[in-house]
C-alpha cells in the first residue's frame, strides 16, 4: 500500500526555506478545527484541543486505511491561527489574552462522513472534553508570505518581523498570524523545533 504524504505533494506550502521569506498562494483545504483562548503553555483547553484533533485525525486515517479505498496517508501537522482582540497583547507577549484556532488539514479524499464516523468512534472510546468543540471547515488563505523558523517559540519575534517587512514592501498585512508545527516538541530539543510562520497579505 503506497503511503500518501501531502506535505511532500504540497512542498511549496509545507517545506519552505529558513533562509528567505517567500510568497505563496494557499488554496482551500478541509481542516478539523477547534477554537480557544489563553496561554498555550498553561491552558488546559489548549492541551485538550490538541488531544482531540489528533485522536480524530488518526482514527480517520485508520478508517480510510482499512476501508474499501485502502489508502494510507500521513496525518498532517498541527497548525494554529493566533490573534487577540487588542493586538498589543501580542507585542507585549500577554499570552492570557491570546485567542487561537488549532487545526489539522484533512485530505479531500477522506470525506465528511469518515470524519464524522471518526468523531463518533473517538467519543465511544474516550471522554475527551474538546471533542464536542471540533468542527470540519473549508479554509482558504489565498496570498501569503511564509518562512521556516528554527528554534523555540519564544524566539519567533525577529522571524515574524521579517515576514511583516517582506509583506509591507509589497502589500499590507491581513488575516491572522498562522503557525504550522513540523516538530514533535516532546522529542526534539527546542533549538531544533521547526515552525512555519505564515501571514496572509493583500
Structural domains for the chain: 1-27+140-202 (3.20.80.10), 28-139 (3.20.80.10)
Task: Give the pLDDT confidence score for residue 17 in this predicted structure.
Answer: 95
Mean pLDDT of 7-18: 96
Task: Give the pLDDT confidence score for residue 167 in this predicted structure.
Answer: 96
**How confident is the prediction for the chain on average, in pLDDT?**
94
Task: Give the pLDDT confidence score for residue 185 in this predicted structure.
Answer: 84
pLDDT over threshold 70, residue 92: no
- 87 pLDDT band, cuts 50/70/90, is low
| CB under 8 A, 24+ apart: contacts of 122-128 | 122/52, 122/55, 122/56, 122/59, 126/55, 128/48, 128/51, 128/52, 128/55
* Residue recorded with cell 478541509: 30
Mean pLDDT of 24-49: 95
Question: Is the CB of residue 45 less than 8 Å from the CB of residue 53?
Answer: no
**Tens digit of each residue's pLDDT (9 = 90 or more) over 142-152:** 999 999 999 99
Q: How far apart are CA 202 and CA 26, in angstroms?
A: 13
Task: Give the pLDDT confidence score for residue 82 in this predicted structure.
Answer: 95
pLDDT over threshold 90, residue 65: yes
Question: Residues 186, 189, 191, 192: is their CA dihedral positive or negative?
Answer: negative
Instruction: Select the more confidently predicted residue: 171 or 84.
Output: 171
Mean pLDDT of 37-48: 92
Indicate the pTM of the whole model: 0.94
Question: Is the CB of residue 109 less than 8 Å from the CB of residue 63?
Answer: no
What is the percentage of the chain residues whose pLDDT exceeds 70? 97
Q: How far apart are CA 145 and CA 24, in angstroms?
A: 6
Amino acid at each position: 500500500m503506497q503511503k500518501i504524504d501531502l506535505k511532500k505533494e504540497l512542498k511549496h506550502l509545507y517545506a519552505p526555506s529558513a533562509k528567505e521569506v517567500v510568497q505563496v498562494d494557499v488554496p482551500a483545504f478541509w481542516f478539523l478545527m477547534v477554537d480557544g483562548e489563553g496561554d498555550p503553555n498553561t491552558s488546559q483547553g489548549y492541551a485538550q484541543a490538541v488531544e482531540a484533533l489528533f485522536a480524530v485525525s488518526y482514527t480517520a486515517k485508520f478508517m480510510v486505511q482499512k476501508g474499501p479505498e485502502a489508502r494510507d496517508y500521513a496525518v498532517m501537522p498541527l497548525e494554529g491561527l493566533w490573534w487577540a482582540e487588542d493586538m498589543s497583547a501580542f507585542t507585549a507577549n500577554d499570552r492570557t489574552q491570546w485567542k487561537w484556532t488549532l487545526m489539522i488539514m484533512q485530505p479531500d479524499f477522506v470525506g465528511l462522513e469518515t470524519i464524522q464516523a471518526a468523531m463518533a468512534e473517538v467519543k465511544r472510546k474516550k471522554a475527551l472534553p474538546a471533542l464536542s468543540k471540533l468542527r470540519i471547515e473549508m479554509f482558504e488563505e489565498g496570498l501569503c508570505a511564509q518562512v521556516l523558523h528554527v528554534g523555540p517559540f519564544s524566539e519567533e519575534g525577529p522571524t515574524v518581523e521579517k515576514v511583516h517587512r517582506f509583506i509591507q514592501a509589497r502589500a499590507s498585512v491581513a488575516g491572522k498570524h498562522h503557525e504550522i508545527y513540523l516538530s514533535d516538541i516532546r522529542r526534539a530539543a527546542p533549538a531544533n523545533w521547526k515552525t512555519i510562520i505564515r501571514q496572509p497579505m493583500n
